[in-house]
């Protein structure tokens, strides 16, 4: 079991061993009586602070190198992560070359990490820009709707907006493990399409409004040697909209 938590805004986001272990049963069983933990909680900085992202990304990378890279072997890895979305994407990128990763989703109703496997299958709709002249932006709206005006307010107004969306986005939309796998397939195909449309020297912006499991999978799907560099934008109400977070290369 691998647990990663960091402050979301001004709120701590703890994940207990008991909650995570019980969510794995009966399909999986914890290999040890404790999890591998990267818990960066209690920072005096918040996501509206300029230094927050550099500090948190560096902390995540160092903890991952010492706590995960040196301990993970061929066994499957169950992942439980709660953090701001750009950090979850960076965390996913660090996980990308580890096989057998099972990323879990925290549900609100009923509360917990066990896949609910209820509700209708999610249908991911891809919307393409009418023109590919300008810088590409990828909007991923699964937890909430993101209007074009919010995108153009954050980046240059002539940007080309690509979009992955579902009907009726909401916080508990990701209920089924198969839907998460379907999202991975959709994103992988679209990243190739964006590169083909805009050229291999382009860089694209990502505007995520997604569940935690999807944020991690965005980072896992993105391949540094194959895909375009991406800049992650984070919705921050203290900053009155989307603001740039770290660039993932």
Whether the Cβ atoms of residue 190 and residue 128 lie closer than 8 Å to each other: no
Instruction: Kindly report which listed range (82-91, 102-111, 153-162) carries the lowest average pLDDT score.
Output: 153-162
Where is pLDDT greater, at 156 or 134?
A: 134
Whether the Cβ atoms of residue 182 and residue 124 lie closer than 8 Å to each other: yes
Where is pLDDT greater, at 114 or 49?
A: 114
**Span 219-232, pLDDT tens digits:** 999 998 899 999 99
E-assigned strands of 149-223?
160-165, 204-209
End-to-end CA distance of the chain: 27
Which phi and psi angles does 113 have, rounded to 5°? -100, 0
Rounded Cα–Cα distance for residues 140 and 145 (Å): 9
| Average confidence (pLDDT) over 141-156 | 90
Domains of the chain, with CATH numbers? Answer: 2-103 (no CATH), 125-248 (3.40.50)
pLDDT exceeds 60 at position 66:
yes
Percentage of the chain with pLDDT > 90?
Answer: 49
Rounded Cα–Cα distance for residues 209 and 79 (Å): 20
Which pLDDT score is estimated for 22? 79
Which pLDDT score is estimated for 205? 94
pLDDT exceeds 80 at position 153:
yes
From the list 213, 152, 163, 168, the residue with the least C-alpha distance to 186 is 163
Which pLDDT score is estimated for 46? 61
Tell the residue number behind the tokens 């061929």, with chain if given: 74
Compute the half-sphere exposure of residue 194: CA atoms within 13 Å on the CB side of its CA: 33
| Average confidence (pLDDT) over 117-138 | 89
Q: Which long-range contacts (CB under 8 A, 24 or more apart) does 184-188 make?
A: 184/217, 184/220, 184/221, 186/124, 186/126, 187/140, 187/217, 187/218, 187/221, 188/221
Backbone φ/ψ region at 112: left (φ over 0), alpha (ψ -120 to 50), beta: left
**Span 183-221, pLDDT tens digits:** 999 999 999 999 999 999 999 999 999 999 999 999 999
| Average confidence (pLDDT) over 74-98 | 87
Question: Mean of the per-residue pLDDT values for the chain?
Answer: 86
5, 26, 63 from 77: Cα distances, Å: 16, 15, 17
Instruction: Kindly report which listed range (8-17, 124-133, 232-241) carries the lowest average pLDDT score.
Output: 8-17
CA 130 to chain centre: 27
């Amino acid at each position: 079991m691998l647990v990663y938590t960091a402050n979301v805004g001004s709120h701590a986001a703890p994940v207990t061993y008991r909650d995570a272990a019980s969510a794995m049963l009966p399909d999986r069983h914890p290999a040890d009586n404790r999890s591998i933990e990267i818990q960066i909680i209690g920072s005096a900085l918040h996501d509206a602070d300029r230094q927050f992202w550099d500090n948190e990304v560096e902390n995540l990378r160092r903890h991952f190198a010492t706590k995960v890279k040196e301990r993970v072997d061929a066994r499957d890895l169950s992942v439980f992560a709660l953090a701001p979305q750009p950090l979850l994407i960076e965390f996913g990128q660090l996980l990308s070359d580890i096989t057998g990763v099972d990323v879990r989703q925290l549900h609100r109703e009923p509360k917990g990490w066990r896949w609910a496997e209820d509700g209708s299958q999610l249908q991911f709709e891809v919307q393409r820009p009418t023109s590919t002249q300008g810088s590409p932006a990828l909007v991923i709206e699964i937890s909430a709707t993101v209007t074009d005006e919010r995108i153009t307010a954050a980046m240059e107004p002539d940007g080309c907006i690509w979009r992955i969306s579902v009907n009726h986005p909401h916080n508990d939309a990701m209920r089924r493990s198969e839907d998460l796998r379907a999202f991975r397939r959709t994103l992988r195909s679209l990243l190739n399409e964006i590169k083909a449309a805009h050229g291999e020297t382009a860089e694209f912006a990502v505007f995520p409004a997604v569940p935690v499991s999807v944020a991690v999978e965005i980072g896992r799907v993105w391949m540094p040697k194959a895909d375009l560099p991406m800049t992650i934008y984070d919705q921050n109400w203290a900053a009155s909209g989307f603001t740039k977070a770290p660039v993932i290369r």
